[in-house]
């Protein structure tokens, strides 16, 4: 069985194509043949399921499943063009997850694409780790900005209605994460001016901790169907404390003790825009 899996893995790898931009993809008809689908019409049903799964996982279908024409070589070298699809590695993963599980080659494909997809994720993580600190800060600040918008919407549904309500709600999260310090206390600890925004003066590690706090608070408010601002505040405090506890258990530096960058993310953004405008000239 292991030899069979190894053979299939090799074949999946051999079917892989690379476009002019260096992106890997697989042709659907070639993949269908390998997965033992004699009739491509039956395989298109699997692709439709993969599209649904792609949408449900908040991915853009057009980035992973693209309609193309595929050239097939028949007996005696005859070539014909047929409608087909270009499938990304992730799309192939979704396809084999929705293919006929009774076929041994499908089980092998599920293993192969699961491993390859995870490898790509790790490579992406390595690329992120190699980014300069300012680039990490810029990326994480924008991520946190978007998640804070979602947190506001979720908190409103939980009873946190006014601007003052949300400020109090946000302070509960800060107090949990920063060992009792609220926004004003963090400002003082960092030596920031009143006009300075806390998030603009956080390093990547501190921003990542706050991003985790925000996403987990949002999820818990939804999961527990909270409809009271008092309970929402307590929940945010609890989530903040839990993130702090995790940092402590991992031997990390507490957020309030992390160094404060001299340059704000806002200044980094302005400098980035200047460089981009020069490149366009």
pLDDT tens string 151-210: 999 999 999 999 999 999 999 999 999 999 999 999 999 999 888 999 999 999 999 999
Instruction: Say whether both 162 and 235 belong to one domain.
Output: yes
Residues spanned by the domain of 181 = 133-280
* pLDDT the model gives residue 126: 66
Work out the average pLDDT over 56-78: 83
Domain end (from 129, 159, 194): 129
Instruction: Say whether both 170 and 198 belong to one domain.
Output: yes
Instruction: Say whether both 181 and 242 belong to one domain.
Output: yes
Instruction: Say whether both 121 and 228 belong to one domain.
Output: no
Instruction: Say whether both 59 and 96 belong to one domain.
Output: yes
Domain end (from 129, 144, 167): 129
Instruction: Say whether both 33 and 105 belong to one domain.
Output: yes
Domain end (from 77, 111, 129): 129
Residue 148 to residue 127: CA distance in whole angstroms: 25
pLDDT band at 2, cuts 50/70/90?
A: very low
Work out the average pLDDT over 52-78: 83
Give the H/E segment covering residue 228: none
Region of 22 please: left (phi>0), alpha (psi -120 to 50) or beta.
Answer: left
* pLDDT the model gives residue 269: 79
Instruction: Say whether both 22 and 123 belong to one domain.
Output: yes
Instruction: State if pTM tops 0.85.
Output: no
Q: Give the C-alpha distances (Å, rounded to integers) separating 48 from 94, 217, 264.
A: 10, 34, 46
Instruction: Say whether both 172 and 230 belong to one domain.
Output: yes
Residue 232 to residue 123: CA distance in whole angstroms: 37
* pLDDT the model gives residue 19: 86
**pLDDT > 70? residue 111:** no
* pLDDT the model gives residue 77: 67
Instruction: Say whether both 253 and 141 belong to one domain.
Output: yes
Instruction: Say whether both 48 and 117 belong to one domain.
Output: yes
**pLDDT > 60? residue 3:** no
pLDDT band at 275, cuts 50/70/90?
A: low
**pLDDT > 50? residue 7:** no
Provide φ and ψ at 269, rounded to 5°.
-65, -45
Instruction: Say whether both 57 and 141 belong to one domain.
Output: no
Contact 207, 201 (CB under 8 A): no
How many domains does the chain fold into? 2
Instruction: Say whether both 232 and 141 belong to one domain.
Output: yes
């Amino acid at each position: 069985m292991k030899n069979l899996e190894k053979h299939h893995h090799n074949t999946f790898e051999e079917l892989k194509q690379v476009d002019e931009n260096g992106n890997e993809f697989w042709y659907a008809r070639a993949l269908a043949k390998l997965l033992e689908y004699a009739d491509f019409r039956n395989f298109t049903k699997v692709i439709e399921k993969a599209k649904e799964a792609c949408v449900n996982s908040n991915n853009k279908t057009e980035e992973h499943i693209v309609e193309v024409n595929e050239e097939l070589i028949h007996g005696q070298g005859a070539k014909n063009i047929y409608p087909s699809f270009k499938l990304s590695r992730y799309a192939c993963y979704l396809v084999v997850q929705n293919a006929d599980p009774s076929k041994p080659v499908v089980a092998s494909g599920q293993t192969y694409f699961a491993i390859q997809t995870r490898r790509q994720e790790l490579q992406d993580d390595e690329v992120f780790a190699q980014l300069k600190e300012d680039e990490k800060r810029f990326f994480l600040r924008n991520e946190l900005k978007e998640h804070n918008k979602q947190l506001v919407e979720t908190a409103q549904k939980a009873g946190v209605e006014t601007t003052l309500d949300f400020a109090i709600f946000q302070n509960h999260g800060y107090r949990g994460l920063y060992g009792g310090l609220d926004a004003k206390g963090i400002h003082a600890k960092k030596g920031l001016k009143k006009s300075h925004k806390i998030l603009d003066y956080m390093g990547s590690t501190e921003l990542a901790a706050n991003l985790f706090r925000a996403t987990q608070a949002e999820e818990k408010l939804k999961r527990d169907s909270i409809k009271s601002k008092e309970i929402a505040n307590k929940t945010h405090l609890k989530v903040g404390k839990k993130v702090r506890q995790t940092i402590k258990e991992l031997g990390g530096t507490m957020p309030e003790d992390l160094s404060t960058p001299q340059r704000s993310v806002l200044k980094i953004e302005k400098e980035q825009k200047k460089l981009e405008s020069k490149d366009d000239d």
